[in-house]
Structure 1
Amino acid sequence: MLSLARNLNATRAIIHAGTSANFFCRRPALVLCVNPNRKRSGKRYNVPPSAEFVARVSGIPTMAKLPYQETADGLDAAFIGVPIDTGTSNRPGARFGPRQIRVESALLRSYNSGTRAAPYESLMVADIGDVNVNVYDLKDTCKRIRDAYRTILATGCIPLTMGGDHTIAYPILQAVAERHGPVGLVHVDAHADTSDVVLGEKIGHGTPFRRCVEEGLLDCKRVVQIGLRGTGYSADSYEWSRAQGFRVVQVEECWFKSLSPLMAEVRAQMGSGPVYLSFDIDALDPGFAPGTGTPEIAGLTPIQGVEIIRGCRGLNLVGCDLVEVSPPYDTTGNTALTGANLLFEMLCVLPKIKYFD
């Protein structure tokens, strides 16, 4: 607390000195937000403090150094963590993913220089913390996640989720489908995650989308899986996906090319209906993102990952997640940093985001 007080006092000193007097306001939870005069709107939004005035290493880590608030009330979009790896079949550690993503996200700035998106001039956004998971009981955790997301979605807020292993997509989509009906799905992953039973269990990070289909949560004609690869338990590991009507884009179809043309086709497939974006960090080649639980060689590049997300611009996105970051397997922090940047890209393609010409 003493350290926090010093940081707040130091920031106030900067403000009172006139360095950025109009740019900060106090929040009820002792969090600072920036509210510059808007070029496109007179409305006031939460904006991360600029590293020009507030050191990145200072303060309590939140996603992109946004204000923290306890609920989604009044928010258009919110970052939320689901820190579990109870459903993991191989390397553990994804329970630490949300925490590390938040730490690395201090490097993010307010504008997207590539697309000229201005998310913090468009939507009210905050970090609303983590779901209170039960690390001893995966089924109870799924119930807790589902209940938490029902509450978030009831406010009209779009959740941007930091995982956690991919099990979390199942209870999240239960809540999403309750509000929006069956949704389209853009699923970026090395694995289809459509297994039926693994080691006698029907819930785990390899089964979420099988469960979603069984419960009618997905509009199967509007599902695309991108980046699938690796060895399998049969000659055609993706036969079940295709039988449901999913479009399956194996990684071999992505090698050595831009994915912008693919995403034009995906946008046409998704149409105007609600869409959920689920991005497993292991979709990227482990040379770029080694900190994950089930790495597979010959994956997508970060450039292609960004192309996929930017290609979702114009879709009716009702939720997004970035899962399977396992910090213990990447001591550089680069996997979490990549995840933080991909989450920012997701924020930048949500409906109602403004772009500078």
Structure 2
Amino acid sequence: MEDVHKRHRTQPPVGLSPRFREALATAFDYHSRQVRKGSGVPYLSHLLAVAAMVLENGGDEDVAVAALLHDAVEDQGGEATLEVIRTRLGDRVASLVWACSDCLESPKPPWRERKEAYLQHLETASADALLITLADKIHNARTIAEDLEREGPGVWDRFRGGRSGTLWYYRSLLQRLQCRNLHPHLVRELGALVERLRRLAARVTVLGVPFDANSSHRRGPALAPGRIREALRSGSMNLTAECGLALDRNDQWADAGDLSFSGTESMVEKVQRAVDGILKLGGAVLALGGDHSITVPVVRAVAARHGPLNILHLDAHPDLYPALDGNPMSHGSPFARILEEGLARRLVQVGVRTMNEEQRKVAERFGVEVLSMDRWNGTGDLEFDGPVYLSLDVDCLDPAYAPGVSHPEPGGLSTRQVLRLVNGLRGRLVGADLVEINPERDPSGITAALGAKLFKEILARMLRRKEDP
């Protein structure tokens, strides 16, 4: 990134004249009783931040003065206010303030109409006006993002455009400003903030959990999140789900990347904290494992938000061991923990074909509904009342379809049967995980490609936001 301070050192130092003090007094007169939407922070703090950014990025005193007053005409009297500014501070300042105002009419036209007119105006606005606009929008976008992270999705209700309109406006602003090829370092900063807002607004967030330390037999599932993403980006696959939803054209989801487990914080603590942060923003989570032990902290966070869950668990194994090899957090034990903690109002397991006596006792104790492969006819939709969580262990599929797993078990589900279960699921899907692909057992990449397919269909099902498919 350009070194702004180095760039400034090449310019002769310029102080501020008493006109700037006059501008501060004028801004105080117009805005001293205003506060920022929803926060109660004095509105003058925004004007000072915009003026400071203008000065830090090469603007002269007139431009900084106009930055202090860029909202005065629009918010405080229209043409009459513009003439006061012209009289007190000069024609150039008044012209810049006018250029930064999206409407002088009273009553104002509808919000969308005003914003579209302002976007068109940016195509011919001066470099100085664009500097003020960039400083204004950067500070606004940063404030919105910080408020969302602190307070949650109710922040969108402060804005006339709501969530979708606000995102549209900031994306459109960015596109117009990129086309002007001015102030590129600030345009890049705005671009990063627009992407941050998009992620914070996502209805579904994908979270990679590359962890396999609780695997009982073979390591390798920690590599799966990266391999699934590689398969998605390969030239052999597009991002359109079978329902017709084009994920590459849909801004309702975001990929938060992978968690790192190099620090001292435990996997359980880190995953639960990360998922809780996602859910606080009002969305749902799709976790990419990793071994099946990651399901415990994900379900804990989702249940803390939604209450006890209906869980649909697709797996060759029931994963109900009280402890496997002495490890209560083994990938063979997640649903024992979930049931003991009261996180499941109903647990339905499909695809099971390895139930032993020890796990059967746990299933009977908690009333688990086990649709084992020797009894399930492979037809019929599953219906749930209330929030639903889907946990899909890829070894639920027959090894003919999914050879790249740590514990292959013949006699499993077909790809089409799994897709019918996902797309036929009736209920409000509030979270999901996709686990136990082992790339070290998948030299051809066929299981990673299957994982990418399952990822697309699960994500599309979550985005459809329907009780019924």
Normalising by structure 2, what TM-score?
Answer: 0.55
The residue number in structure 1 matching 2:458 is: 346
Against the structure 1 CA distance between its residues 277 and 343, is the aligned structure 2 distance closer, same or farther, given a 3 Å change threshold?
same
Against the structure 1 CA distance between its residues 71 and 203, is the aligned structure 2 distance closer, same or farther, given a 3 Å change threshold?
farther
Q: Is the 8 A contact 1:133 1:145 kept in 2?
A: no
Counterpart code for 1:116: G
Q: Is 2:265 the partner of 1:128?
A: no
Q: Is the 8 A contact 1:316 1:351 kept in 2?
A: no
CA distance in 2, matches of 1:211, 1:229: 21
**397, 400, 412: which one pairs with 1:299?**
412
**236, 250, 258: which one pairs with 2:372?**
250
How much identity, in percent, do the aligned residues show? Answer: 35
Q: Is 2:444 the partner of 1:316?
A: no
The residue number in structure 1 matching 2:212 is: 85
**67, 73, 85: which one pairs with 2:200?**
73
**95, 105, 125: which one pairs with 2:232?**
105
How far 1:120 moved relative to its partner?
Answer: 6.1
Specify the SS of the correspondent of 2:434.
strand
Which whole-Å deviations, capped at 9, do the CAs of 1:152-193 have from their partners, x for residues lacking one?
111112111111000000011111111111111000000111
Which whole-Å deviations, capped at 9, do the CAs of 1:221-254 have from their partners, x for residues lacking one?
x221000013x543x7434213312211001234
CA distance in 2, matches of 1:71, 1:89: 39
CA distance in 2, matches of 1:350, 1:242: 31
The residue number in structure 2 matching 1:58 is: none
The residue number in structure 1 matching 2:98 is: none
Q: Is the 8 A contact 1:317 1:351 kept in 2?
A: no
Q: Report matched runs for 1:145-224 at 5 Å.
A: 145-219=271-345, 222-224=346-348
CA distance in 1, matches of 2:273, 2:197: 15
Counterpart code for 2:228: I
CA distance in 2, matches of 1:156, 1:276: 16
Against the structure 1 CA distance between its residues 98 and 122, is the aligned structure 2 distance closer, same or farther, given a 3 Å change threshold?
closer
Normalising by structure 1, what TM-score?
Answer: 0.71
How far 1:204 moved relative to its partner?
Answer: 1.2
Q: Is the 8 A contact 1:71 1:128 kept in 2?
A: no
How far 1:211 moved relative to its partner?
Answer: 0.6
CA distance in 1, matches of 2:463, 2:219: 34
Larger RCO (alpha carbons 8 Å, 6+ apart): 1
How far 1:108 moved relative to its partner?
Answer: 3.9
CA distance in 1, matches of 2:462, 2:394: 20
Counterpart code for 1:252: D
Let me know the Cα RMSD of the aligned residues: 2.8
CA distance in 1, matches of 2:327, 2:253: 37
The residue number in structure 2 matching 1:96 is: 223
Against the structure 1 CA distance between its residues 74 and 228, is the aligned structure 2 distance closer, same or farther, given a 3 Å change threshold?
same
Specify the SS of the correspondent of 2:266.
helix
Q: Is the 8 A contact 2:268 2:297 kept in 1?
A: yes
How far 1:199 moved relative to its partner?
Answer: 2.0
How far 1:286 moved relative to its partner?
Answer: 1.1
CA distance in 1, matches of 2:250, 2:364: 38
Gaps of 5+ in 1: 1-27, 29-40, 47-66
Against the structure 1 CA distance between its residues 141 and 71, is the aligned structure 2 distance closer, same or farther, given a 3 Å change threshold?
farther
Against the structure 1 CA distance between its residues 297 and 70, is the aligned structure 2 distance closer, same or farther, given a 3 Å change threshold?
farther
Which whole-Å deviations, capped at 9, do the CAs of 1:18-48 have from their partners, x for residues lacking one?
xxxxxxxxxx9xxxxxxxxxxxx998599xx
CA distance in 2, matches of 1:68, 1:131: 19
CA distance in 1, matches of 2:195, 2:258: 11
How far 1:200 moved relative to its partner?
Answer: 1.9
How far 1:338 moved relative to its partner?
Answer: 0.5
How far 1:302 moved relative to its partner?
Answer: 0.6
Q: Whose helix proportion is higher, 1 or 2?
A: 2
Q: Whose strand proportion is higher, 1 or 2?
A: 1
CA distance in 2, matches of 1:69, 1:122: 16
Counterpart code for 1:93: G
CA distance in 1, matches of 2:438, 2:222: 7
Against the structure 1 CA distance between its residues 140 and 333, is the aligned structure 2 distance closer, same or farther, given a 3 Å change threshold?
same
The residue number in structure 2 matching 1:330 is: 442
Gaps of 5+ in 2: 1-137, 139-163, 172-193
CA distance in 1, matches of 2:419, 2:245: 14
